[in-house]
Chains A and B, each alone.
Chain A
Amino acid sequence: MSEPVVTLCDAGKRYIKYDDPAMVFGALRLLHRGGRSDLWAVRHLDLEVRSGESVGILGRNGAGKSTLLQMLAGVTAPSEGSVRVGGRVSPLISVGVGFHPELSGRENVFVNGTILGMSRQTIERRFDDIVGFAELERFIDTPVKFYSSGMFVRLGFSVAIEADPDILLVDEILAVGDFAFQLKCYERMQAIRARGTTVVVVSHNLGALRTFCDRGIVLDRGRGVFDGKMFDAIGVHHDLMTVREESAADDPTTTAREEGIAEVVDAVLTTVDGQPAAHIRAGDELLLTMDVRALRDIDRPFVGLLLRTTDRDICVYSDSTIAMESPSLHAGQVRTYRARFPVALPTGSYSASMTVHRHVDDYRHALLASSPVVSFYVTGRPLVGGLADLRASFTAGVEV
């Protein structure tokens, strides 16, 4: 096993927030330390990365991913512990940063390459490769202010790769390029890894992470909570995304919530053959199983299934009233409800929950209890996007 190229030893990064940002108080602050609060973005983090590894970093917003990346880039020093990086780091410079909008793509390659530590001769020698890989031959003499964000990313990625770093840091960026370019990046990243370049990726795009990285590190509130195979890391990440206390009470069709009538004993999301359902492919079927205990007699209860995207903007609701006879429940009785549904969804993170309701009268019903929200990740079919995967079929006819 090779020497580690990155070693973090009990590393922590503290940010200090001041309640009053005014300068007069700023001067006073030097004298006494009141009015400030500490925020540890990362704490007690130990990490070793060896040459040629590709590591993905996962975590919710604010988990410390960007701070970790900044420490690896050497941009910020840890407040406690140490960070040792044994090689040349090249960050993939994001859209607009390090590019001069008025200058042409050609000039920016030189500026950006110089910033990344390439000599003029090296850039000249690799210039055609850089431009060719970015597929920008036709636009290389155009000022980059006219570039699309995709073109920016392609050029940035090309320069960063050709800078031939020991450690390549990738922050979120690849989501911007189109699918074909992502594949090209993937191939190129495999190639540089074979030469021993280490790749560290931070992304919310779990699909990209799973493609690019073998090893996954999950951060939660600044602590490393998991370090292992990327596949398992995504599972851990999803568990963290599952907020146990969260209720589904904002279910769109519910008119009232009634407490003390029913409770959810257990809920589990699996594939139809009982496997844990952290990773799903579009077209698979899922089974959400929920055990409900009645605390009082319930006349013809019914259950609902609620799917949400993780940003909670879009939800899909469906309930059992039309599909299932719903015998009444007696107090103390436990019944298992199952919702089996096909995953007709594009790539992304989703959450599922089940709810129990009763009819109040012919028109209204009440929410009695809801299951914990369970997250899962769908690997959709390529080039499918939007709300749902329609699985449309297309035909082409010849006009007469």
Chain B
Amino acid sequence: MTTMPEPAGAGPRVPDTSAGFELFGPGTPVRALLTTTWRTRAVLFVLARKDFVARYRRTSLGLLWALALPLVQAVVLAAVFTRVVHVGSAVRHAQGGPGFSYAVFVYAGIVGWSYFSSTMPAASTAVVDNSGLAGKIYFPRLMLPLLAVATGIYPLLISLGLLLGMALLLQHSVGPEFLLVLPATVLTVAVTAGFGVALSALHVYFRDVRFVVQAVMSVLFYATPVIYSLANVPSSVRLLLALGPMAGPVELFRMATVGADSAWPQAVAGGCGWFVVLGAIGVWLHSRFDRVFVDRL
């Protein structure tokens, strides 16, 4: 899947040998895998956009749903935690600050978490789920989990807009630190991609991965400081929770809005660690099994 050469006109055809390949033994070298994936990144975004758009086809509200769902979530959060219950007091006490809003605090956690929890399971089964296409045409299979990861970015961007709106509305002040949502988003996507790439390869051989992921997801929700603050947990588990995969992104989103916990450097370092380790394992697995995944689909 390189970019097209123009038709050779009436002259004799010169095969596009750069698009050719030579196969002996299973593996695809890491460098070749990554350069091919990089060359075909355009495909990734075309497909991601189509997948995102297709999701809302044949609904009367169409793309508005992409906005409506996180909006409902944000409004409910805001209403519940500003008017109905006051669970936030422990957190407020820990985080302090006069303009502190627990609703914004939770939503900042949810933005990253909901991207991870909806995208990562899809990415981890992406190679198997696309077996029909994968059996017909070659492209680096690495693209399939990345495609799921990229598709999820659209709703993530919408949630970021809502986070900004909520912060403006409930905290009345949003400083330049809101720009930290950019590194926060990058880290969220990177960690998710690391998981997706590694698990999508494993899932081809161990179909249990799908269910293990579901189980781990429900545990991870509570092991990630989404609805609570790291400041509230006993110091014995604090570091452990800070090193969880999504703690880093969540703390960065908090830093952009309500302020982060003091353990944020560990959390961010942890997130980067997850990305590097899982990404490396994932890329190695894909490079080893890229052209034989299909035998097990």
Contacts and interface: CB of A to CB of B under 8 A. Distances in A.
Interface of A: 3, 5, 15, 23, 26, 51-52, 70-71, 73-79, 81-91, 93-94, 96-98, 100, 102-103, 107, 110-111, 114-120, 122, 143, 163-164, 166, 171, 195-197
A72 B46 CA distance: 26
B57 interface: yes
A110 B46 contact: yes
Contacts of B138: 73-75, 89
Contact of B20 (A88, A118, A195): A88
A81 B292 CA distance: 15
Interface string B124-138: 000000001111111
Contact of A122 (B4, B13, B17, B137): B4
A85 B136 contact: no
Nearest to B15: A87
Q: Tell me whether chain B's interface is mostly helix, strand or loop, or mixed.
A: loop
A90 B16 CA distance: 12
Given A73-B138, A75-B294, A196-B12, A111 B46 contact: yes
A85 B132 CA distance: 22
B137 A103 contact: no
B136 A75 contact: yes
B92 interface: no
B57 A143 contact: yes
B288 to A, nearest CB: 11
A115 B139 contact: yes
A88 B16 contact: yes
Contact of A195 (B8, B24, B294): B8
Most central of A3, A88, A91, A166 by chain B CB within 10 Å: A88
Contacts of B8: 195-196
Contacts of A93: 133, 136-137
Nearest to A13: B295
B137 A76 contact: no
Contacts of B58: 102, 143
Interface in B117-157: 132-139
26 contacts: A3-B15, A23-B206, A70-B135, A71-B23, A73-B137, A75-B136, A76-B291, A76-B295, A82-B22, A83-B24, A84-B23, A86-B17, A87-B19, A91-B136, A97-B133, A98-B133, A98-B137, A100-B50, A107-B50, A110-B50, A114-B47, A115-B47, A115-B139, A120-B46, A196-B8, A196-B15
Question: Interface size class for chain B?
Answer: 35 or more
A103 B138 CA distance: 23
B3 interface: yes
B4 A23 contact: no
Contacts of B205: 26
B26 interface: yes
Contact of B132 (A88, A97, A111): A97
Contact of B25 (A5, A71, A77, A88): A77
Nearest to B46: A114
B22 A83 contact: yes
A119 B4 contact: yes
A75 B42 CA distance: 21
Contact of B137 (A84, A87, A110, A115): A115
A82 B23 contact: yes
Q: Which 5 A-B pairs have the closest CB atoms?
A: A196-B13, A87-B15, A88-B19, A74-B138, A77-B291
Interface string B12-49: 11011101111111100000000000000011001100
Given A89-B138, A122-B4, 10 more contacts: A5-B15, A23-B208, A70-B294, A86-B17, A111-B47, A114-B42, A164-B4, A195-B7, A195-B13, A196-B8
A163 B3 CA distance: 11
Given A102-B57, A122-B4, A75 B137 contact: yes
Given A93-B137, A111-B50, A119 B42 contact: yes
Contacts of A94: 136
Contacts of B137: 73, 75, 90-91, 93, 98, 115-116
